[in-house]
Each structure stands twice: as structure tokens, then as C-alpha cells.
Amino acid sequence: MAVKITLTDDHPLATQGIVAMLKKRKDFKIVDIFHNAKDLFEGLSRQQPDILLLDVMLPDRNGRDIAPEVKQLYPGIKIIALTSFDAPTIVSAMMRRGCSGFLLKDTDAATLIEAIDKVATGAEFIEPKIQRRIMENVMNFKTESTDANPPMLTQREKEILKLIAAEYTTQEIADELFISFRTVENHRYSLLHKFGVKNSIGLVKIAIQYGLA
């Protein structure tokens, strides 16, 4: 039985390249191609694929918001996120939102096909290059750490730290937690002070180091 695939990406060259690679497999069937979130949801209402290849950054909506909505409406669809950026925090954010796979847009045909094969059977798949970077980061952070235990954090601080690690903006964190912009900034300042770091990048490293991201 063919694996039905829907591709959503607003870059024509990326789309053409992915389509060409997918044609290498006779049991892969591309059922739809969309270039924005609006058309994607309209298309899904008519026909649901087995696999959705989803660009993380579409012109009208962010993949971070699209993925959980797709999973809520159509739980049977398995999502593989596509991006040009190899930031581990983006991987974490997308996988938490229901994605089963994560690929870079410059991936090769063999990796793309392997990802679809694994995700179609219920497994998860992360681009090997990103996996290596995540492990290198974790090992570096552990080596650099001079404190085996993180400072005591309130539940709210933990929530905000996790969202910072998932690349939420201050306003997005405020909206997610139903608190004010100023409250988020106060918590961010408190976290910077507690961990002795200068910016959000430092907080992301801390979050990964202590398993909070």
C-alpha cells in the first residue's frame, strides 16, 4: 500500500527537490502540495495523508502553531518538520508539538526516504546532523558546568525557561501562560541572575544542560 504524502513549503526550489527525491520510491504517493497554512487546512479537510512534510516557517503561520492544530484535528497524520535551520531548540519545540520527524531542507534523498519509512511505521526520526549537534552541545554544557545541581526554581520559572528554550518570544510566553509582558520580563531577569548568564542563548544552554528543554 502506498504511503500518501502531503508537502507544505513556500519555496519552489525546495518543493521541486523534495518531489524529485520522493519519486525514487514507487510506494510513495504525493497527494497534495501546498504553499501556505490556509491552503493546507483547506486541503486536509478534503483529504488526509499518512505523512505531512511541513515547513517550519510558512508565510502566513508558524509551523510551531500549525503542528499541534493538525494533530488535534487529524491525529492519524504523522508530521515531519522541514527547516533550513539546525538549531536544537527548534527540534525540541516541533517534537513537543506532535511532530514525529525533523529534517533539514538540504537533506539527501536517502535520509528523506529513511525518515518517511521510519515515521510511517510509528517511529521518530531526527536529521543525523542535528542529532550530532545536540549531543555535542549536551556534552559541552556538562563539561562546562561547575554546579551539579541547578538553582532552586519556581514552577513558573521552569515553565518560562522551557518556553525560552523553545524559542518563544516574550509576548508569546505571556500569551501562552496568560500573564503580562512585564511579568515575563521580570522572570527572565530573575533567571539570568540565578544562572549568571547574560542573555537568552545562555538560558537555552542552561535549560538543555539540566534537562529542562
pLDDT in tens, 137-154: 555 555 555 445 567 888
Amino acid at position 119, single letter: V
Q: Where in the chain is the domain with CATH 1.10.10.10?
A: 145-209
Predicted pLDDT of residue 24: 87
Q: What would the mean pLDDT of 170-181 be, rounded to a whole number?
A: 90
Q: How confident is the model at residue 196 (pLDDT cuts 50, 70, 90)?
A: confident
Compute the distance between CA of residue 58 and CA of residue 202 in angstroms, rounded to an integer: 28
Compute the distance between CA of residue 61 and CA of residue 110 in angstroms, rounded to an integer: 29
Predicted pLDDT of residue 96: 82
Predicted pLDDT of residue 194: 85
Q: How confident is the model at residue 134 (pLDDT cuts 50, 70, 90)?
A: low
Percent of the chain with pLDDT over 70: 88
CATH for the 3-127 domain, from 3.40.50.670, 3.40.50.2300, 1.10.8.60, 2.40.10.340: 3.40.50.2300
Alpha helices in 84-127 (DSSP H): 88-96, 109-120
Predicted pLDDT of residue 146: 46
Q: Where in the chain is the domain with CATH 3.40.50.2300?
A: 3-127
pTM score, whole prediction: 0.69
What's the whole-number average pLDDT of the chain?
Answer: 86
Residue where the block lists cell 504524502: 5
More confident site: 206 or 5: 5
Compute the distance between CA of residue 40 and CA of residue 31 in angstroms, rounded to an integer: 12
Compute the distance between CA of residue 161 and CA of residue 163 in angstroms, rounded to an integer: 5
Of the segments 28-42, 92-106, 118-132, 140-154, which one has the largest average pLDDT value? 28-42
Domain 145-209 sits in CATH at 1.10.10.10
> For residue 58, is pLDDT > 50?
yes
